């Protein structure tokens, strides 16, 4: 499952993506998840969220 997510990002020129475990908060990269046989955190949980950069987007008021 992680392979599909990261493949689409690399095709768009994204590079390495960081994911965070929902339960324990451990951060792993897409490269680390690719080497594992299962998409699973060290705590055993299987749900990750994609870590977003802390850049706030500004939208011009109309």
User: Which of the two residues, 7 and 27, has the higher pLDDT score?
Assistant: 27
Of 11-20, 26-35, 41-50, the one with minimum mean pLDDT is: 11-20
Task: Tell me if the pTM is above 0.85.
Answer: no
In the prediction, which pLDDT does 52 show? Answer: 87
Q: How far is CA 50 from CA 20, 33, 60, in A?
A: 6, 13, 27
Give the whole-angstrom CA distance, residue 27 versus residue 52: 12
User: How far is it, in rounded angstroms, from Cα 37 to Cα 26?
Assistant: 18
Q: Is the dihedral of CA 3, 7, 8, 9 positive or negative?
A: positive
Between CA 30 and CA 27, with CA 2 as vertex, the angle to 5 degrees is: 40
Q: What are the structure tokens assigned to 26, written together?
A: 């451990």
The tens digit of pLDDT for each residue in 17-39 reads 999 999 999 999 989 888 888 88
């Amino acid at each position: 499952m992680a392979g599909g997510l990261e493949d689409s990002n690399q095709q768009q020129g994204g590079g390495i993506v960081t994911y965070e475990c929902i339960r324990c908060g451990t951060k792993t990269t897409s490269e680390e998840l690719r080497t594992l046989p299962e998409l699973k955190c060290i705590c055993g949980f299987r749900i990750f969220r994609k870590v977003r950069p802390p850049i706030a987007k500004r939208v011009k008021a109309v």
